[in-house]
């Protein structure tokens, strides 16, 4: 996995709560058996005026000029500023894959849906929870000043504004450790293979019905 230590990038404010994973990447694009190539279809139904289809050249499609990512000032944004309950709905990891493929590295919101939040960390994408009033402030600043950038430091767990104001955020230690070092967490778990085997052997004795019954 790609490591994440520090990132500075242009902020795109998406002023809408309860953005669900169907909105982030509609179902017709989930038919791919790959992990890449979802970027052109990120927010497909909001971004384009027509109905998107898999394997289509999206550069030729009519854009919705009202959608935030279609505004020239947000071109190249890598920090998504969002509202509460971002990523609710389906468990599809295609949602973080699409955000990543588009070029986002950080998502800041007052709250995230659990499965989406977890999926981000598996893909080198950092979801940051900040208090609602701080998020409100960042929305205001991003909207008034064109080219507004934020700097995110995962080591220090801070978000720094262009004026130098710094906001701390929480992230659990294991996820932070994996992200900072770009670790393959399957590899980390397999370091405990002997423990898993001994747990399993114990369970085979105490709960034999969990193993192979009926198959």
Partner 1 sequence: MAGKTLYDKLWDDHVVKQREDGSALIYIDRQLLHEVTSPQAFEGLRLANRKPWRIDANLATPDHNVPTTDRAKGIEGIVDPVSRIQVETLGKNCDEFGILEFKIMDQRQGIVHVIGPEQGATLPGMTIVCGDSHTSTHGAFGCLAHGIGTSEVEHVLATQCLVQQKMKNMLVKVNGTLGKGVTAKDVVLAIIGKIGTAGGTGHAIEFGGEAIQNMSMEGRMTVCNMAIEAGARVGMVAVDGTTIDYVKGRPFAPTGEAWDAAVKYWRTLHSDLDAKFDKIVELDGSEIMPQVSWGTSPEMVADVTGNVPDPAKEEDPIKREGIERALKYMGLEANQAITDIKLDRVFIGSCTNSRIEDLREAAAVVKGRKVSASLKQAMVVPGSGLVKAQAEEEGLDRIFLEAGLEWRDPGCSMCLAMNADKLGQGEHCASTSNRNFEGRQGFGGRTHLVSPAMAAAAAITGHFVDVRELLN
Please state the closest distance from residue 1 (CB atom) to partner 1, in A: 9
CA distance 201 to 181: 33
CB within 8 Å of 187: residues ≥ 6 apart: none
Determine if 147 is a binding residue for partner 1 (CB under 8 A).
no
Interface with partner 1, residue 137, by CB under 8 A: no
- Alpha carbon distance 91, 95 (integer Å): 9
Among 56, 118, 137, 158, indicate the residue that binds partner 1 (CB under 8 A).
Answer: 118
Answer for which of 3, 6, 51, 166 binds partner 1 (CB under 8 A) is: 51
3-state secondary structure of 120: helix
Indicate which single residue of 56, 122, 149, 171 sits in contact with partner 1 (rule: CB under 8 A).
122
Residues contacting partner 1: total by CB under 8 A: 63
Q: How many CB atoms lie within 10 A of CB 27?
A: 11
Contact call for residues 143 and 14 (beta carbons, < 8 A): no
Q: Which sign, positive or negative, has the C-alpha torsion 182, 186, 191, 195?
A: positive
Q: Which two tokens stand for residue 159?
A: 């978000």
For partner 1, the binding residue among 83, 126, 141, 152 (CB under 8 A) is 83
Q: Which residues bind partner 1 (CB under 8 A)?
A: 16-18, 20, 22-23, 26-28, 30-35, 45, 51, 54-55, 83-85, 88-93, 96, 111, 113-115, 118-119, 122-123, 172-174, 177, 184-186, 188-190, 192-193, 195-196, 199-200, 203, 207-215
């Amino acid at each position: 996995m790609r490591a994440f230590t520090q990132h500075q990038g242009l902020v795109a404010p998406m002023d809408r709560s309860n953005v669900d994973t169907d909105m982030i990447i509609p179902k017709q694009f989930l038919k791919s058996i790959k992990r890449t190539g979802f970027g052109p279809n990120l927010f497909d139904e909001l971004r384009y005026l027509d109905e998107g289809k898999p394997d289509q050249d999206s550069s030729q499609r009519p854009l919705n000029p009202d959608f935030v990512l279609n505004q020239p000032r947000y071109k190249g944004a890598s920090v998504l500023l969002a509202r509460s309950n971002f990523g609710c709905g389906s468990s599809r990891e295609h949602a973080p894959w699409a955000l990543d493929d588009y070029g986002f590295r950080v998502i800041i919101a007052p709250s995230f849906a659990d499965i989406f939040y977890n999926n981000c960390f598996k893909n080198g994408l950092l979801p940051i929870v900040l208090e609602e009033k701080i998020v409100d402030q960042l929305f205001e600043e991003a909207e008034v000043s064109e080219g507004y950038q934020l700097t995110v430091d995962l080591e220090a767990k801070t978000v720094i504004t262009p004026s130098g104001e710094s906001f701390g955020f929480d992230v659990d230690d294991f996820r932070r450790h994996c992200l900072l070092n770009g670790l393959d967490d399957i590899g980390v778990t397999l370091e405990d293979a002997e423990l898993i085997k001994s747990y399993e052997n114990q369970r085979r004795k105490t709960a034999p019905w969990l193993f192979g019954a009926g198959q």
